[in-house]
Structure 1
Amino acid sequence: MYKMVDANEEYAKDSKLKREDVENLRFWTEKQPHLPKITELQLILFLQSCYYSNERAKSAIENFFTVRTLFEDLFSNLNPQESSIQMSLDVGLSYVLPEVTPNGDKIVLLKLLDNNPNKYILQDQLKRFDMMLMLYMHLMGTNEGMQITFDFEGSTMSHLLKANPSLVKKYLFYLQEAVPIRLKHVHVINVPSWIDRFLALIKPFLKKELLDMIHIHTSMNTFYEYVPKKILPKEYGGSAESVDILKDLQNQRTNESKRVEKTNYDKIFGMEGTFKRLEID
């Protein structure tokens, strides 16, 4: 079984995180009959990611559980042994690097491992990315912030054309309004010639705050201004583990058919209970 981070550890490491504020947030959730039972750790993640604002945390909680209920294509069958998730591991890498920036930000690296567009299914990549992110937060707890890095090496227009605008719209709403992380920057490296078409696809669905976070790096030198070279994998000039090793770590999978005590994946990924319906189309 996975060992979730203990809530007491979160209070100990963050003096701005107050038990009273978490208790007030819990009291509010219990007065919302449509919401599921929410753990103390989840409340902490929402409150900390919203910079300790109860009102912002309430909005994020509402959006998080509602979107995950309505958007069944991405947020149902949360089993890492599912065949589509297993195949997605060979196509793309989603990994949180072990070291942090001087500001304490975690770096999430996303890149293609198999450049064949026929194998690329955006829905599966997003689903696996979200599962990885949810599991990471439950195991590691809060952090100062996250910077997401998209390495477009090997990507083609054929990959872009497989992006369903409706899917992109819904996931960007979820990322901006619901996910309990402090998103600081979004980087694009190994920029393709069709980057303008990519930006044209996502811009209509981005708030100004997120749009301002996007950095298109035509040189790695500008990228290093945000992410120190030394914390990156060797392929990017750093001293961290190579992408091949990260791939091996990503592909270290359990054999669920041999597990004695079954894992409740829905609980791990924050999917408990039933919720009201809300249209976000």
Structure 2
Amino acid sequence: MRPLPPELAKIAREELNEIPERVQEDLVILRTWIYQQRYLYARTSTDFLIAFLRRCRYSLEQTKKRIDDFFTFHTKCPEIVSNRRVTEKMLSINRLGLQYFPEFPRCSDHAAIMITRLNCCPKRYHMRDVMAYTAMGMELIALENDNAAIVGVIQIIDLSNLDVEHASQLGGGLLRKWWYWMNDCCPLRINATYCLNAPKELQNWLGFLRTLRVKMRPQFFILKSLEELYEHIPQKCLPEEYGGANGHMHECVSYMEDLLKSYRDYFEDEVNYGTVEHLRHGEIMPYEAEFGAEGSFRKLIFE
């Protein structure tokens, strides 16, 4: 484990129940459990398992379930995760500045800030590609950014460039699967989500997002202006493109490109992980419990 600065070590101990003297014991328990599951092929590296332990506040049972869900999703939702490789296309998506993944910039409560912008051409980059890139980035941030892994992430979704074609690509259950990954599989905790600059013609689509907030659990806000955002996040904590003093977006793009390249072998190795469902016995598969045996989605009731 990387040594933590005193303020993060205090948060990890008091809020996540992280006791350094007990971490090795927890890792042994998790690795033993993984090896005993004939259907489960999961990563067992220290950094990977600690990211999930922190996400689950060191509850071993919750950690087991999230790891199971994570790799079941890889098997059951290839349309989102099958192209998670560091290709030139994935690097070109990063260079568009779709995501602000900070190395060190953080919110005043020590949480990391993640800004999502859909400033890409939907004819060139399908939303599946954007989701794959985002999932890769979030996984790496969970492994590399202690603020994000311990305190969590404040997510800002800037919808300035979202159009009808972007929204149409989220049909067929793709959006629902993505939120399922974010909530039940992702090793990062999303503390709150703030939506900015929603086009009027997409209000119904955004209303659909709001129906998912109970499932997502974190707070979900639809804001009309940057000034309204400043009421939730101190202005100085935001990047300069959003009126703050916390670095530039392009700095995070460069950081993420270097990080993706350094993890090229990590993602190439993903073909070795997942689940073999016919070997699973005595329980409902996480994916089927959520979506049904054929992957069909439960009916959503709009209010």
Distance 1:253 1:100 in 2: 18
Q: CA deviation at 1:169?
A: 1.5
Distance 1:245 1:233 in 2: 10
* Paired position in structure 2 for 1:130: 135
Distance 1:160 1:231 in 2: 30
Instruction: Work out whether residues 83 and 129 of structure 2, in 8 Å CA contact, stay in contact via their aligned partners in 1.
Output: no
Bigger helix fraction: 2
* Paired position in structure 2 for 1:157: 164
Q: 1:112 to 1:249 in 2, by over 3 A?
A: farther
Instruction: Structure 2: give runs of 5+ residues left out of the alignment.
Output: 278-284, 296-303
2:153 corresponds to 1:146: yes
Instruction: Work out whether residues 153 and 190 of structure 2, in 8 Å CA contact, stay in contact via their aligned partners in 1.
Output: yes
Pairing partner for 2:267 from 265, 268, 276: 265
Q: CA deviation at 1:276?
A: 2.2
Instruction: Work out whether residues 65 and 271 of structure 1, in 8 Å CA contact, stay in contact via their aligned partners in 2.
Output: no
Residue aligned with 1:100, SS: coil
2:37 corresponds to 1:32: yes
Distance 2:61 2:183 in 1: 16
* Paired position in structure 2 for 1:193: 200
Q: CA deviation at 1:253?
A: 8.9
> TM-score of the superposition, structure 1-length normalised?
0.81
Q: CA deviation at 1:212?
A: 5.6
Distance 1:43 1:180 in 2: 9
Instruction: Work out whether residues 106 and 143 of structure 1, in 8 Å CA contact, stay in contact via their aligned partners in 2.
Output: no
Distance 2:183 2:274 in 1: 23
Instruction: Work out whether residues 29 and 35 of structure 1, in 8 Å CA contact, stay in contact via their aligned partners in 2.
Output: yes
Question: Percent sequence identity over matched residues?
Answer: 22
Q: CA deviation at 1:128?
A: 0.4
CA-to-aligned-CA distance 1:98-131 (integer Å, 9 cap, x gap): 32112211111111334x4433411010000111
Task: Let me know the Cα RMSD of the aligned residues.
Answer: 2.9
Q: What is the aligned residue count?
A: 265
Residue aligned with 1:170, SS: helix
* Paired position in structure 2 for 1:177: 184
Q: CA deviation at 1:230?
A: 1.0
> TM-score of the superposition, structure 2-length normalised?
0.76
Instruction: Work out whether residues 159 and 195 of structure 2, in 8 Å CA contact, stay in contact via their aligned partners in 1.
Output: yes
* Paired position in structure 2 for 1:22: 27
Q: 1:62 to 1:11 in 2, by over 3 A?
A: farther
Instruction: Work out whether residues 189 and 216 of structure 1, in 8 Å CA contact, stay in contact via their aligned partners in 2.
Output: yes
